[in-house]
Every structure is written in C-alpha cells, then in structure tokens.
C-alpha cells in the first residue's frame, strides 16, 4: 500500500527560508529550533477543525497552572528565590519582584496570559447564555494578572483586541455584553492594581507605570532602539549573527549616545526589544525580508477575519496579533516559548489561505525527523536550566570552598555561562590579598567573555586589569568607553577614569 502523504504549506518555506538556507551563519541549536518552529507550524495547519477547541482549552489550563506556580513564588510561600525540580527551574521568580513564571521576565508571562485571555473572550462571545457568566469569570481571572504584571507592552496589545471586541459587540447590538465586559475590565483593573501594589510597593501601581512610560520608560526604549540600529549598521547585509546582539550592544550604545550625551544608557541586553530591529541587527537583509513577509501575512489574515469573531480560528489570530504587537516593544518574539506559541497559532489561523499553496511530504519521515529534533531541543533545555541552577549555587558558595574552582571550570565550558563565571570570579578575587596580579593575567579571559556578552562589570574589570598591569593608555580608552555609556546608576569611578587619562594611577577603584 502506498504511503499516505500530507500537504506541507508553501508559506512555511517563505517564512523560514533565510534560516534554513544559510546554515553556515547559524548555530546548530538555532537551526534545530527553526526546524521545530516549522514543524509546529505544519502540524498546527493540519489540525482538524473539531480539535481546535480542545487545543484552546488545554492552553488556557496550562496558563492557569503557570500563573499558580508563579504566584506561589511571587508571594513568598515557598520561602526561596525560585521553584526548582531536581535542578530544573520551574520558575524564575524572585519574591517581591515582578511575576515571571518560567520565562525570562514578567513581560513574557503577561503576553502569554493575554493570549489565554483572548481565547476566553472568544468562548464568551460565542457561548450560550447559560455559560457566559462562567466564561466571564475566566476572563476576569486572566485579566487581573495582566494588569498586575505591570507589562505596558502587553496592555497595549490587549487594548487593540479589546477595541476589536467592543466594535463587534456594538455591531451585533449586544449592549448587555458590552456593559458586562466593561465592568469586568474595571474590576480587573482595580484588583490587579491592588495586587501589584500589595506585593510590589516599590514600583507603584498602574498609574505610576503610565507616568514612567511618559518619562523614563520611553527614553530608555529610544536609546535601546537607536543602539540596535547601530548594531545593524555595523553589518547591514548579513547582520552580526544569531544570538550575537548581546556581544555588540554596549559598543553600539556608545556610538548611539555620542549625539545625545545627556541620554542614559542601559546596562546590557540580549534583545533589541523590537522584533524588526532585532531581526535586522542579527540577520541583516534576510531579517528585514522575514519581517516584511510576516507583516503582510498577518495583515492579510486580519482583513480576512475582520468581521469573523465567531470563526473558530479567530482566537489563534488574536494570539498572533498580540504577540506581534508586543514584539515591537519588548522581548517576547526573541524568547523560545512565545515564538513556539506564535508558530502554533499562525499555523492554525492560516489554514484557509494555504490550502491552494502546498506540496507533498511523507508523514513518516517528517515525524521521525521532528521527533529527533525535539529530543535534542528538550535535552538541551534541561541541561541549560540545570547549568544555570548550578551556577546560582556556585555564586552563593563560600570562596574558601575547595570544590568552587572545579565547579567554575566545568561551568565555564558553557559559552552562555562563561562571561558570568569570569565576571563573578574576578569580583570575588579583587577583595582577596595577593590576587590583583592574577586578575591582570586573566585579561585574555575578560576579552573573550566580552566577545560573547558585553556586560558593564566586565568592562570595569578590564579597566582594573589594565591598571594592575600599568597599561594606562589602554585603561584610558576603556574608561572613556565606560563613561560614554552614561548609565543611570551613579558611576563610582569617574575620577579614576579621568586620572588614568592624565597618566596617574587611580588611588581607589570599585568594581
């Protein structure tokens, strides 16, 4: 019997062509991840119509579980900094900080909750009158945590969806539901604001976040985006390479601040907080073409579903739209989980457009390759989070512990951890008698660490290493570079940077 074949959507090739056609520019991990995104997109586009509600409900349940774990840590019930399971981080939350869940920061968690909220809104819009109050409570539950997240990019994305939903309710003349969703929003605003102020009194409430956006928040973003533009200008055709943004950011920021010396720089970042600028910085022209292709595709889908809020694929479109909007203000689309969610929802919603543009694949071969790729990715994810957990334990170890050096040598084999191992090792050594000369000998390690991830304290340590080695000219150049960053926090070494440029060895210096 001939093996059954399945359609592979052709737009998939257009979306991922630059990743799959230039493997010599891309690390193996990223290439595997791009294949995984392609596979997720494919399988999502093949999902039967009757299974979509199950997918949506499963996602909402998973988000509710993530919120529960994050809240458990956030309010300090576990009495520790984060929740781990045999070294595997279940959350990255810290007590009295923003609620992160298992993600890089609270902004990622917030946009994931917005996606769950949009699905709940669809069920509420199209359910029977008997179950609408139950769905309204689910909407309220997600909405409270969206507001308490203090994630302004997520709020903006949600406001777009809310305006769309309100327009549809008025078009249907559902005035009772219009009032109900407005009342739910007001309750969620009040409860979310109270929850945030109770657990995060140091950052203020929602009103303070809006004031911060008008003052410091927007200025920081502009500096970041101008710096990302400088990263792209350094290699406009091919970009600086995948995951290399963090290795070039501070150099680019020093150039961006030359024209605005009164503006403040940020410490370090691995993301441009703007998906277009990030793609251009890391992938050059190919990244720009990818952004254009995706933007046109999403606009086409928006036009197709503009009056179809009863369509079963609308919740997937809503998730795609909010992820895309927030991706132009924050890190969401440079993080693995939001990218995976984006590929899944894009596959679901784009099926009506791709049925006439496909070619054939053999399912068995594709399933086998997909299984192998996902096995590598899951294994890598477990190893990475276990390594970071081990790093956290290493940082808190006493410097006299005999095994500390051996653990550092093992962790330093990981390129992600290497800059942190160097930075924290030197920061500890500088206070120990007789270790200053050893810091100067570690200068090659500092330079290698900076080539992987430009971090403020690494530059201070490089400056210190030059001083110890009596290389005042190099120390002067490094000091001037640090001063141009104009970080918001007070720089304690301004006099030291000026002294070396006058040929004097600084009397005091702080790392």
Q: What 8-state DSSP symbol labels residue 97? A: S
Coil vs helix vs strand at 265: strand
> ∠ at Cα 394 (389, 396), nearest 5°?
100
Dig out the tokens for 338 from the structure: 């939001």
More confident residue, 101 or 500: 500
Identify whether the C-beta of residue 210 lies closer than 8 Å to the C-beta of residue 159: no
Query: What pLDDT sits at residue 279?
Result: 92
For 404, half-sphere exposure in the C-beta direction (CA atoms, 13 angstrom radius) is 16
Average pLDDT over the chain, rounded to an integer? 80
At 350-380, the pLDDT tens digits run 887 765 544 455 556 666 766 676 676 666 6
pLDDT per residue as tens digits for the range 83-108: 555 544 555 545 445 666 666 677 88
What pLDDT is attached to residue 226? 93
How confident is the model over 188-242, as pLDDT tens digits? 999 888 887 776 665 555 666 655 555 556 778 889 999 999 999 999 998 998 8
183 forms beta bridges with none
Q: What is the pLDDT of residue 230?
A: 95
> Which pLDDT tens digit goes with each residue over 455-487?
999 999 999 889 888 888 998 999 899 888 887
pLDDT of residue 4: 47
Compute the distance between CA of residue 35 and CA of residue 374 in angstroms, rounded to an integer. Answer: 9
Indicate if the pLDDT at residue 73 is higher than 80: no
**pLDDT value of residue 140:** 95
Nearest Cα to Cα of residue 478 among 492, 497, 505, 457: 497
Tell me if 132 sits within 8 A of 113, measured CB to CB.
no
Q: How many residues does the chain have?
A: 511
Read off the pLDDT band of 327 (50, 70, 90).
very high
In this prediction, residue 135 carries a pLDDT of 94
Cα angle value 77/83/85 (rounded, 5°): 135
Mean pLDDT for 267-282 is: 91
CA 111 – CA 299 distance, rounded (Å)? 20
Task: Identify the CA nearest to 193 among candidates 210, 207, 182.
Answer: 207
Cα(323)–Cα(341) distance, rounded to whole angstroms? 9
Confidence at 111, pLDDT banded by 50, 70, 90: very high
The residues, ordered by sequence, that sit 6+ positions from 185 with a Cβ below 8 Å of its Cβ are 143, 162
C-alpha closest to that of 60 among 142, 174, 3, 136: 142
CB 353 within 8 A of CB 381: no
- pLDDT value of position 490: 65
How far is residue 8's CA from residue 357's CA, in Å, rounded to a whole number? 9
């Amino acid at each position: 019997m001939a093996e059954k074949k399945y359609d592979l959507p052709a737009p998939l090739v257009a979306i991922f062509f630059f990743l799959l056609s230039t493997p010599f520019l891309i690390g193996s991990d990223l290439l595997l991840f791009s294949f995984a995104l392609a596979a997720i997109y494919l399988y999502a586009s093949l999902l039967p119509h009757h299974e979509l509600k199950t997918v949506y409900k499963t996602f909402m349940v998973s988000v509710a579980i993530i919120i529960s774990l994050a809240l458990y840590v956030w309010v300090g019930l576990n009495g520790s900094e984060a929740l781990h399971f045999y070294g595997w981080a279940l959350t990255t939350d810290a007590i009295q900080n923003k609620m992160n869940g298992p993600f890089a920061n609270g902004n990622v968690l917030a946009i994931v909750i917005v996606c769950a909220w949009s699905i709940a809104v669809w069920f509420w819009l199209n359910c029977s009158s008997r179950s609408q109050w139950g769905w309204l409570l689910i909407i309220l539950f997600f909405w409270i945590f969206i507001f308490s997240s203090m994630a302004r990019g997520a709020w903006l994305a949600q406001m777009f969806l809310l305006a769309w939903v309100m327009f549809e309710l008025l078009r249907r003349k559902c005035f009772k539901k219009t009032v109900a969703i407005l009342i739910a929003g007001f309750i969620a605003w009040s409860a979310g604001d109270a929850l945030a102020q109770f657990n995060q009194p140091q950052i203020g409430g929602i009103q303070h976040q809006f004031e911060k956006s008008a003052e410091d928040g927007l200025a920081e973003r502009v500096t970041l985006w101008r710096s990302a533009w400088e990263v792209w200008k350094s290699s406009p055709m091919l970009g600086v390479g995948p995951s290399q943004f963090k290795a070039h950011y501070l150099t680019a920021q020093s150039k961006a601040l030359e024209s605005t010396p009164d503006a403040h720089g940020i410490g370090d970042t691995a993301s441009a907080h703007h998906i277009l600028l990030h793609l251009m910085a890391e992938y050059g022209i190919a990244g720009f073409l990818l952004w254009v292709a995706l933007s046109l595709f999403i606009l086409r889908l928006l036009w197709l579903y503009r009056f179809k809020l009863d369509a079963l694929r609308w919740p997937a479109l809503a998730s795609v739209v909010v992820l895309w909007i927030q991706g132009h203000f924050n890190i969401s689309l440079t993080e693995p989980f939001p990218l995976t969610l984006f590929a899944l929802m894009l596959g679901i919603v784009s099926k009506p457009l791709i049925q006439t543009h496909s070619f054939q694949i053999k399912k068995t071969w594709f399933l086998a390759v997909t299984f192998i790729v996902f096995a590598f990715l899951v294994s890598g994810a477990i190893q990475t989070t276990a390594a970071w957990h081990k790093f956290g334990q290493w940082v808190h170890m006493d410097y006299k512990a005999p095994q500390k050096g051996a653990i550092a040598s093992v962790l330093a084999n990981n390129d992600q951890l290497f800059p942190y191992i160097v930075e924290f090792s030197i920061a500890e050594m500088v206070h120990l008698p007789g270790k200053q000369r050893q810091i100067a000998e570690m200068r090659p390690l500092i330079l290698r660490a900076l080539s992987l991830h430009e971090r403020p304290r690494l530059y201070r340590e490089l400056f210190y290493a030059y001083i110890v080695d009596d290389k005042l000219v190099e120390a002067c150049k490094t000091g001037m570079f640090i001063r141009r960053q104009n970080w918001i926090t007070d720089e304690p070494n301004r006099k030291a940077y000026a002294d070396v440029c006058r040929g004097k060895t600084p009397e005091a210096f702080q790392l």
